[in-house]
């Protein structure tokens, strides 16, 4: 992982995202870049934007002084101030770099700006095809010892495995492969077992520790989070299954519920089959 992007609105909540990003940057020897976006509101005078820009620079310099010694000396640590729609500009920034990801808080909103990280975190996940880790609680800002990897019967569910493996290798984590379904159908269970077997083989080749379990419940989001809390997991990895209509791109119900309710950091991976066509992201093939 060459670069980690961290959206900041200078609230204490979004600093959580920075603190988690520092831990990941040190493990991956990644460069770390903070991003603040000035929103273009009608009627906002140039002098107001200039004052906000200068204040943002002062805040960033203060953060650099406070946190620079926490990063390995080989990791570059800087910031950028942009202007536009927050989720679009953050996504544009991470998309400008190969092998990059975003780490951000889903809470936030200082008196400093209109950033309101909570609502924009979900939009950022939708806007980029790069990995995004969202965090809500200080409890989970630390090394990643256990990762929960839910598998369902969709063909895309295995696309998150390489990224999970990369994180697991960096942190020497144990991965908990959980086969999740609300069905008691034996055919579905057999397919889940087949997927799990493929993942186990991949982890064996990578030398990654793992365990495997089957979870059957009416609400697979709740079942996944309950399991993760029971084992004191540090990360849950999901695919951002998404639905589209002629106007909006929406996170699918599982991803939306997970980002909304999980107290544990969530790694969101966008399926490769999603692409943009005339401004609308659709599922390909």
pLDDT at residue 34, rounded to an integer: 97
- Residue for token pair 């599922």: 283
Give the architecture (CATH level 2) of 143-283. Answer: 3-Layer(aba) Sandwich (3.40)
Q: Does domain 3-136 have CATH number 3.30.1540.10?
A: no
pLDDT digits (tens, 9 = 90+) for 77-136: 999 999 988 889 999 999 999 999 999 988 644 444 444 455 677 888 888 999 999 998
For the chain, the domains span 3-136, 143-283
Fold agreement between 3-136 and 143-283: yes
pLDDT digits (tens, 9 = 90+) for 102-116: 999 886 444 444 444
pLDDT at residue 44, rounded to an integer: 52
- Asked if residue 52 lies in contact with residue 195, where contact means CB atoms within 8 angstroms, the answer is no
Report the helix count and the strand count for the chain, using DSSP H and E: 8, 14
List of residues 6+ apart from 23 with CB closer than 8 A: 141, 142, 143
What is the 8-class DSSP label of residue 245?
-
Question: Is 90 exceeded by the pLDDT of residue 57?
Answer: yes
Would the pTM of this model clear 0.85, i.e. be above it? Answer: yes
């Amino acid at each position: 992982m060459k670069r980690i992007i961290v959206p900041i609105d200078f609230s204490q909540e979004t600093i959580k995202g920075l603190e988690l990003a520092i831990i990941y940057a040190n493990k991956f020897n990644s460069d770390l870049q903070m991003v603040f976006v000035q929103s273009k509101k009608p009627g906002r005078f140039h002098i107001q934007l200039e004052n906000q820009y200068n204040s943002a620079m002062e805040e960033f310099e203060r953060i650099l002084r406070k946190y620079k010694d926490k990063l390995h000396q080989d990791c570059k640590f800087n910031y950028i101030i942009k202007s536009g729609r927050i989720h679009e500009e953050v996504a544009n920034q991470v998309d400008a770099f190969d092998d990059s990801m975003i780490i951000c808080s889903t809470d936030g909103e200082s008196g400093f700006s209109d950033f309101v990280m909570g609502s924009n975190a979900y939009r950022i996940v939708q806007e980029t095809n790069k990995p995004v880790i969202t965090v809500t609680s200080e409890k989970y800002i630390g090394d990643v010892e256990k990762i929960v990897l839910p598998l369902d019967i969709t063909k895309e569910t295995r696309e998150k495995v390489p990224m999970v493996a990369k994180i697991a290798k960096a942190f020497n984590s144990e991965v908990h492969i959980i086969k999740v379904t609300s069905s008691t159908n034996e055919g579905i269970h057999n397919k889940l077992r087949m997927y799990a077997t493929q993942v186990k083989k991949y982890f064996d080749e990578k030398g990654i520790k793992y365990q495997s379990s089957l979870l059957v419940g009416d609400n697979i989001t709740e079942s996944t989070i309950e399991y993760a809390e029971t084992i004191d997991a540090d990360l849950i990895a999901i695919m951002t299954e998404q639905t589209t209509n002629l106007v909006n791109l929406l996170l699918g119900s599982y991803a939306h519920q997970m980002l909304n309710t999980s107290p544990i950091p969530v790694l969101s991976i966008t399926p490769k089959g999603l692409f943009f066509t005339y401004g609308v992201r659709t599922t390909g093939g």
